[in-house]
Structure 1
Amino acid sequence: MRYQTDFAPQHLNDAPRVVQLGSWTLHYQAFSRQAEDNREPVLMLGGAFQSFRSFGVEVQELLPHHPVILLDLPSQGGNLQLAPELSLEQLADLIAAFAEELRLPPLMPIGLSYGSALAALFAARHPQRCARLLLAGITAFGRPGARRMLEEGLDLLAEGQVLRFAQGALTGLINPLRLDETGISPVFRKALLRQMQRLSPQEVERYLQNSRRLLDFPGFTRHPTCPTLVLAGEYDHFTQPWEHAGFAAACTDADCALIHNGDHLAQFEQREACASFYRPFLQGTALPLASPGATRLARNRLDRLERRQEPRVAPLNRRGRLLHAEAGEWSVDVSELGFFGGLVQGALPADLPSRGWRLQAGDLPALDVLALRHHGDSLALVFPHTDAAASEALAAQVVRAEPHAVAYA
């Protein structure tokens, strides 16, 4: 490996280097302070809507201490090669093949969101090639509510409803109830929404393939054994803190840090809080028990972290109607209502369709809902948030309400 030594953020716009592994094309860029560098490199693996340009600050932060490699596997980032036949495990194996082809020393992957599943699988399947592992925004663990939301996004894209898909995906990535805490600006939210609304047909196909890989993934049969650090955003609803902690608990040598006032994009929202843990971790020095904006979770509590995150309240007017264009209409009692989901009671048929429902609750506009769990006369719902106006009205009511009960979707 020969590294580029004159890093500047604009270089992330340059044409990448290319490695051909059989029929698969991999794109990468590699930077260091010295052209020949035998130290263990940091390997950046980004999420669904990230490219090399997303990591300019991180590369600058890491370069004084580490070589840095940015890698786009087929269908990732700026790599336009489609790979519908490849599973998550096979993509993780391509990382190992990349390291072998370039004769790299053991890697230190940083996996973010979708990239976290690839990084973790690489570490678990190729332990001799992984020195340290850093994960944030853990995916692929199958929480029912998250799976329903991901499935709904795929259905909307297949139907050509890109605007509704984008609105729902934005709410998954950026918790709109916690904007004051996370500091996400309206300008950033609008830019991300526009990016998702303007996906090209090829970008839509890539997203469909990547999401199907997550849904098809059966779960980890073994976990990483190398030193591992997991960063969890305090308000991340898409990949929740207890899921991060549970993964850390299953690893041989892992720590989990809670990033306060962060959600699914915590590494961008609370950069310094995240860096206060990943700096010493990547250098192999002791982690702090706490730092401004972050807390290290006790190892003996990782598998017992509270799973109840979102407050749910019984609205003042509990009468509601569950509407479906084909199945019909039912009166229901809205026993719990939160921003991300709720619980209704009613004499509902056993064979409810999974999609196409709307909930009319009190004076709120009709809310799109997805059926999650149906037991007896109780039906748990999740809100896909594909209608911006309805979501804003629900958020306003939830924020005003005084919670007296908590539930989880």
Structure 2
Amino acid sequence: MRYRTDYSATLLASPPDVIEIAGWRLHYQAYSTRQRDTRAPVLLLGGAFQSFRSFAAEVDELLGEHPVILLDLPSQGGNLQLAPELDLEQLADLIAAFAEQLQLPALMPVGLSYGSALAALFAARHPRRCARLLLAGITAFGRPGARRMLEEGLALLEEGRLGEFAQGALTGLLNPLHLQETGVSPVFRKALLRQIQRLTPLEVERYRQNSLRLLAFTGFDSHPQCPTLVLAGEHDHFTQPWEHAHFAAACGMAECAVIHQADHLAQFERREACAALYRPFLCERPLPARSSGSTRLHAGQLLNLEKRCEPRRTPRQQHAVLLHDEGQRWAVELSELGFFGGRLQGDLPADLPQRGWRLSHGDLPEQHLIPLRHDEQGLAFVFAHSDAAASQALAERFHPAPQPAAACA
């Protein structure tokens, strides 16, 4: 590997280097303080809606201690090659083939959101090629609520309802109940919403294929055994802290930390709190016993975090009406209600359609909902949050209280 030594943030927008492996094109940029560098490189793998430019601050900081490689696999980031036939495991194997072709030493992958699944699979499937592993925003997608939200997003895209899809995706990435704590500005929120709303047909297809890969993923046959650091945003509802902790518990040598006042984009919202942990970790130094902005979880906590992140209350007015797009109406009683979902009871048909539901409750705008479980305890559901005005009205109904470092389905 020959590294570039002239790094500047503007270069991240320049055309990448490209290598071809078995017909698949891999885009990358590689930087170091020396052209020939035998140290373990940090490999940056981003999530949906991220490009090399998203990592400008990280590259600038990491280059003082490590070579840095940014990689876009087919259908990732700026790599426009579609790859519908490749599953997550095969994409992870492409990372190993990339390392072999360029004769790289053992890598230190940093996987964020969608990239976390690829990084973790690479580490588990190719342990000799992975020295250390850093993950944030674990996307194993075993939680029913997350899977149904992802399926709803795909259905909206299929129907051409890009605006509603964008609103639901934004609510998943940026928890509206904690915008003040996470420091997400209205300008950034609007910019991200516009970015999602303006996806081209090719970008929509790439998102669809990537989402289908996640939905088809049946779970890890084995977990990484190398030193691993897992970072979870305190208010991340999309990939929840307890899921991060469970993943860490299954790894051979994992530490897990909850980043305060952050949600799914913890790496970008709380850069210094994250850096205070990943800097020593990547340099093979002990993590600080105490670190401002985060809480390290001890082994006994990993499988015992609370799985409910939001208050679910019994509303004063329990009467509500459940409506379906085909015209049916049912009088129901709300036993639990929160911003992200709830539970209701009513004389409902046994076989409920998966889509087309709305909840009318009090003076709130009608809320689009997605059924999860229908049993003797009633109907558990999540809100789709595809209507901006309805979501805003619901958010104003709930005032965040101090929450445990965990989340709910």
TM-score, normalization by structure 2: 0.98
Q: CA deviation at 1:402?
A: 12
For the structure 1 residues 192 and 44, does the alpha-carbon distance in structure 2 shift closer, same or farther, using more than 3 Å as the test? same
* 2:141–2:215 Cα contact (<8 Å) kept: no
For the structure 1 residues 327 and 125, does the alpha-carbon distance in structure 2 shift closer, same or farther, using more than 3 Å as the test? farther
Quote the residue 1:356 is aligned against: 356
Quote the residue 1:268 is aligned against: 268
Task: Give me the whole-angstrom Cα distance separating, in 2, the residues matched to 1:295 and 1:375.
Answer: 37
Q: 3-state DSSP class of the match of 2:374? A: strand
Given the alignment of the two structures, is residue 204 of structure 1 paired with residue 223 of structure 2, yes or no?
A: no
Q: CA deviation at 1:384?
A: 1.1
Q: CA deviation at 1:300?
A: 2.0
Q: 3-state DSSP class of the match of 1:317? A: coil
Instruction: Provide the aligned C-alpha RMSD in A.
Output: 1.4
Task: Give me the whole-angstrom Cα distance separating, in 2, the residues matched to 1:17 and 1:275.
Answer: 28
Quote the residue 1:156 is aligned against: 156
Number of residue equivalences:
407
Q: 3-state DSSP class of the match of 1:166? A: helix
Unaligned runs of 5+ in 1: none
Quote the residue 2:10 is aligned against: 10
Task: Give me the whole-angstrom Cα distance separating, in 1, the residues matched to 2:370 and 2:116.
Answer: 27
Deviates more, 1:304-313 or 1:64-73: 304-313
Quote the residue 2:295 is aligned against: 295
Residue identity (%): 69
**Aligned amino acid, residue 15 of structure 1:** P
* 1:40–1:67 Cα contact (<8 Å) kept: yes
* 2:240–2:408 Cα contact (<8 Å) kept: no
Q: CA deviation at 1:290?
A: 2.4
* 2:132–2:228 Cα contact (<8 Å) kept: yes
Task: Give me the whole-angstrom Cα distance separating, in 2, the residues matched to 1:218 and 1:244.
Answer: 17
Trace 1:105-124 onto structure 2 (pairs within 5 A): 105-124=105-124
Quote the residue 1:384 is aligned against: 384
* 1:345–1:377 Cα contact (<8 Å) kept: yes
**Aligned amino acid, residue 34 of structure 2:** Q
Deviations 1:200-228 (A, max 9, x none): 00000000000000000010010000000
**Aligned amino acid, residue 309 of structure 2:** Q
Unaligned runs of 5+ in 2: none
* 1:337–1:343 Cα contact (<8 Å) kept: yes
Q: CA deviation at 1:359?
A: 0.1
* 1:310–1:338 Cα contact (<8 Å) kept: yes
Q: CA deviation at 1:304?
A: 1.2
* 1:312–1:407 Cα contact (<8 Å) kept: no
Task: Give me the whole-angstrom Cα distance separating, in 2, the residues matched to 1:241 and 1:155.
Answer: 27
Quote the residue 2:171 is aligned against: 171
Task: Give me the whole-angstrom Cα distance separating, in 2, the residues matched to 1:287 and 1:400.
Answer: 31
Q: 3-state DSSP class of the match of 1:291? A: coil
Quote the residue 2:238 is aligned against: 238
Task: Give me the whole-angstrom Cα distance separating, in 2, the residues matched to 1:360 and 1:398.
Answer: 17
**Aligned amino acid, residue 258 of structure 1:** V
TM-score, normalization by structure 1: 0.98
Deviations 1:292-318 (A, max 9, x none): 101110012111111121111111211
* 2:140–2:217 Cα contact (<8 Å) kept: yes
Quote the residue 1:135 is aligned against: 135
* 2:241–2:407 Cα contact (<8 Å) kept: no
Q: 3-state DSSP class of the match of 1:342? A: strand
Given the alignment of the two structures, is residue 365 of structure 1 paired with residue 390 of structure 2, yes or no?
A: no
Given the alignment of the two structures, is residue 393 of structure 1 paired with residue 389 of structure 2, yes or no?
A: no
Deviations 1:235-260 (A, max 9, x none): 00000000000000000000001100
Given the alignment of the two structures, is residue 48 of structure 1 paired with residue 48 of structure 2, yes or no?
A: yes
Quote the residue 1:182 is aligned against: 182
**Aligned amino acid, residue 44 of structure 1:** L
Q: CA deviation at 1:407?
A: 9.0
Deviates more, 1:312-321 or 1:271-280: 312-321
* 1:348–1:377 Cα contact (<8 Å) kept: no
Quote the residue 2:321 is aligned against: 321
* 1:288–1:296 Cα contact (<8 Å) kept: no
Given the alignment of the two structures, is residue 72 of structure 1 paired with residue 72 of structure 2, yes or no?
A: yes
Task: Give me the whole-angstrom Cα distance separating, in 1, the residues matched to 2:2 and 2:303.
Answer: 43
Q: 3-state DSSP class of the match of 2:398? A: helix
Quote the residue 2:283 is aligned against: 283
* 2:5–2:35 Cα contact (<8 Å) kept: yes
Q: CA deviation at 1:408?
A: 3.3
Given the alignment of the two structures, is residue 342 of structure 1 paired with residue 342 of structure 2, yes or no?
A: yes
For the structure 1 residues 400 and 147, does the alpha-carbon distance in structure 2 shift closer, same or farther, using more than 3 Å as the test? closer
Task: Give me the whole-angstrom Cα distance separating, in 2, the residues matched to 1:87 and 1:306.
Answer: 32
* 2:385–2:391 Cα contact (<8 Å) kept: yes
Task: Give me the whole-angstrom Cα distance separating, in 2, the residues matched to 1:33 and 1:57.
Answer: 16
* 1:116–1:139 Cα contact (<8 Å) kept: yes
Quote the residue 1:102 is aligned against: 102
